[in-house]
Amino acid sequence: MWECAVANDIDIVSRISKLQDQFSEAEKKIARLILEDLNFAAHASINTLAKRAEVSEATVTRFAKALDCKDVRHLKLRLAQTLAVGQRVISGVKI
């Protein structure tokens, strides 16, 4: 399966985009939501994320696990890290 760990991991958003065709139809809804509104996805509760994607909370959890994240919190952490790195790149801040 795919690694969601910090070490030797590609950007989680790139990974989601790359793997879209392998997701179930419900998981594709979550993937689209994340790709369309990363900021929302990184900060929304599992309940809000599920409602906006029109899937169950269990589906959101399965989606996170499909990416080898421990849970939804871990997935959201990875999304937030991607946002933070993106903001640094845009603003020119060196890491």
Per-residue pLDDT tens digits for 8-49: 355 899 999 999 999 999 999 999 999 999 999 999 999 999
- The residue type found at 19 is L
Find, among 16, 66, 68, 7, the residue nearest to 42 by Cα: 16
State pTM to two decimals: 0.79
Q: What residue spans of the chain are helical by DSSP H?
A: 12-19, 25-36, 38-43, 46-53, 57-66, 72-91
Phi, psi of 94 (to 5 degrees): -80, 145
Find, among 11, 13, 1, the residue nearest to 67 by Cα: 1
| More confident call, 94 vs 40 | 40
pLDDT band, very low/low/confident/very high, at 86 (cuts 50, 70, 90): low
Mean pLDDT, the chain, rounded, equals 84
pLDDT of residue 1: 43
pLDDT band, very low/low/confident/very high, at 93 (cuts 50, 70, 90): very low
